Structure 1
């Protein structure tokens, strides 16, 4: 596992040259608050490139990269941030994040203020830290990736959002509906450096955000800080167990070894015996992927802008 304890010595001042904001105007509250993007752009002296449909984000990022700015700022939710990180990894262009999504775990984990204008001021005074990212079969992720009940929750959430709009209450309702439809656990084979593990579970959660784990009282933060993954295998083989685990999570009473098992490392192979394709969730997005799923850290680094207070 790679030790990131020397990262502080490699930090540099955030770029003061050309800055481009890529704004996803369909991400969370950003669809109703374009004025906040303009306020952040004024603070940073940045150009704004906006997209209004999810299928435009990739092309908008390509346009921003082609202009070769010193920094590209992702203005959106976690899905926008991971798409930006994937484009900028290894390019030498610095990346910053403005929180405009529903949950904003990545931005919050960096210590950014939830107010976009204040976050822009933190970025302007921030520093750049080289960081390796998590990947699974070449797909970059920033916060987490998972198989099992959570990808099904995302499918349910999309349907609810289309009908009722993007609100946190609707996101929570999608969890309840997905749990009610839960039938049977997965049979999972997990390959790590210390051998092979066989489990029956409703969810395998691969974490890369120590902030997100700490937020819910989950173990594994030290593995992430050391440059690896915290793999949580939920101990739930029935619908009733699943509801009990979530109730304990909401109450802040979950325990390692009781509610979930923790596996730590910087590599993981995940297979569902008898299934070639799996539905993978990553940072609020989802996609079908051929198995086995191979998790590793990237060799290339992202130049990530961090608030100075994080020092």
Structure 2
């Protein structure tokens, strides 16, 4: 499989989300235009400045890039990057990222700097390289997909962000409050992978496609996304007051040592209710919530995303040490 044609004069079609992160959108736009002008690169910016515009602009950017032999670029947080990647996957276009979010796990695991000027230098000088994409019922996830408690945590975190702003401290505070509330539902699921089936009762099923995030929480199969697989993590249904302890162990990079955690790598896995009746379920993909039909099929996408990125990712290499 060969990368898309790419050169010093390849035009850029950039989807810039004004709602991502805490940065000044005008300053980011000016930095993009200045860097492209200095490099002699044509660019077209699609400014997402209201609800409902992200996906249409992502599709238009891909259409223009296909017609003009260009690069599709996502400028925003992991949710924005996910939406633009969904439109780009399978298009034959190269993909670029200018991270503007709070955690930026996708860009960090691939060595793309958080600073806009430095990320622009990567975008303007590096070639496209193949990176793995995860799918759940054909919905793209680049970082993770989850159901149960973790999806609920993400949903409640958005309320905290609206009230207290976007920051890592806000996200951590929201997680602690959600876990301390109790009353977390357990799911009875049937998992099928590698020719075997297993019934599982769990509070949350998390599927990771980001080696950096998995290394930071201390999962044994953290490099599964670098080896053509995904990593499943299930939280066993212990007493609810044990959940904050799991959060602490994850923060300390020791989640894989917890008795309440089951984890394993896979390339394709079907998840369905252990009993009939459940037709749809709320699933979070890269922090965005979706209602998906059961059964769920988690798998590695058959083709890669051609991401413009450096050959080495220093933060991921450091996490492996």
TM beyond 0.5? yes
| Cα distance in 2 for residues equivalent to 1:207 and 1:47 | 33
State the 1:169 CA deviation: 2.2
Question: Quick check: 2:188–2:274 contact (8 Å CA) kept in 1?
Answer: yes
Q: Verify: 1:144 aligned to 2:144, yes or no.
A: yes
State the 1:257 CA deviation: 6.5
| Cα distance in 2 for residues equivalent to 1:179 and 1:160 | 14
> Residues 56-75 of structure 1 correspond to what in structure 2 (within 5 A)?
56-68=53-65, 69=68, 70-75=70-75
Aligned length: 302
> Residues 201-220 of structure 1 correspond to what in structure 2 (within 5 A)?
201-220=202-221
1:49 corresponds, among 27, 46, 50, to 46
State the 1:262 CA deviation: 1.5
> Residues 75-224 of structure 1 correspond to what in structure 2 (within 5 A)?
75-183=75-183, 184-224=185-225
State the 1:306 CA deviation: 1.3
Structure 1 residue runs without a partner (length 5+): 1-6
| Cα distance in 2 for residues equivalent to 1:306 and 1:12 | 14
Deviations 1:262-307, CA, capped at 9 Å, x for gaps: 2211001112334222110110101111111111122233221112
1:307 corresponds, among 303, 307, 310, to 310
Question: Quick check: 1:160–1:174 contact (8 Å CA) kept in 2?
Answer: yes
Structure 2 residue runs without a partner (length 5+): 315-321
Question: Quick check: 1:94–1:303 contact (8 Å CA) kept in 2?
Answer: yes
Deviations 1:206-235, CA, capped at 9 Å, x for gaps: 011111111222222232211111111123
* 2:52 match: secondary structure: helix
Question: Quick check: 1:27–1:100 contact (8 Å CA) kept in 2?
Answer: yes
Check 1:129–1:43 CA distance in 2 against 1; reply closer, same or farther (3 A cut): same
Deviations 1:33-86, CA, capped at 9 Å, x for gaps: 431232133223322211112411011112222322410111000111111111
Q: Verify: 1:37 aligned to 2:29, yes or no.
A: yes
TM-score for the superposition, normalised by structure 1: 0.90
Question: Quick check: 1:236–1:242 contact (8 Å CA) kept in 2?
Answer: no
Deviations 1:112-154, CA, capped at 9 Å, x for gaps: 1110111110121111123441111111110110111111112
TM-score for the superposition, normalised by structure 2: 0.87
Report the equivalent of 1:296. Answer: 299
Large movers: runs of 4+ above 3 Å: 10-15, 308-311
Check 1:273–1:238 CA distance in 2 against 1; reply closer, same or farther (3 A cut): same
Question: Quick check: 1:207–1:230 contact (8 Å CA) kept in 2?
Answer: yes
Question: Quick check: 2:3–2:306 contact (8 Å CA) kept in 1?
Answer: no
